[in-house]
């Protein structure tokens, strides 16, 4: 149930923040790099959402020794958008630099989730 809810939420977020502006923005004849940037950001967010679904799945069936690490990953997931907002507004950085920093923050989260998932599946065999 939780995976479907998060998957639906991720789909709705992607449609409302990425697809609609792209469809509305492409009616003009001019090319804009904003659409490329939005597509790249959507791909990064897709990887983060998939990793978060895996963390929630593992947390449901986790043993007591794994719960702290999985909760730490959930905390990291909550901090990813906050870090992007801080970089975007407080430091007034270029949108491309914010995109690269968002990717650099998302990669360790996804790698850590992958490692935990591999250990989880190895222990369940």
Encode pLDDT of 2-54 as tens digits. Answer: 556 666 767 777 777 767 766 676 666 566 788 788 888 888 988 998 899 88
- Of 2-6, 24-28, 55-59, 65-69, which one has max mean pLDDT? 55-59
Measured CA to CA, the distance from residue 118 to residue 109 in angstroms comes to: 14
- pLDDT score of 2: 54
Give the list of residues 6+ apart from residue 34 with CB closer than 8 angstroms, or none.
Answer: 25, 95
Classified as helix, coil or strand, 61 is coil
CA angle 93, 106, 86 (to 5 degrees): 30
Query: Which three-class secondary structure state does DSSP give residue 54?
Result: helix
Q: What percent of the chain has pLDDT over 90?
A: 19
Higher pLDDT: 23 or 67? It is: 67
Give the mean model confidence (pLDDT) for residues 102-112: 93
At residue 27, φ and ψ (nearest 5 deg) are -70, -25
- DSSP result, 24-63: HHTTSSS--HHHHHHHHHHHHHHHHHHHHHHHHHHHHT--
């Amino acid at each position: 149930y939780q995976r479907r809810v998060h998957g639906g939420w991720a789909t709705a977020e992607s449609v409302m923040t990425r697809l609609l502006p792209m469809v509305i923005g492409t009616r003009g004849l001019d090319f804009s790099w904003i659409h490329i940037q939005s597509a790249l950001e959507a791909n990064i967010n897709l990887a983060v959402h998939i990793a978060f679904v895996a963390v929630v799945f593992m947390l449901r069936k986790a043993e007591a020794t794994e719960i702290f690490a999985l909760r730490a990953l959930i905390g990291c997931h909550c901090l990813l958008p906050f870090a992007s907002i801080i970089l975007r507004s407080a430091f007034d950085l270029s949108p491309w630099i914010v995109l690269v920093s968002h990717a650099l923050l998302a990669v360790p989260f996804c790698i850590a989730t992958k490692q935990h998932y591999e250990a989880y599946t190895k222990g369940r065999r």
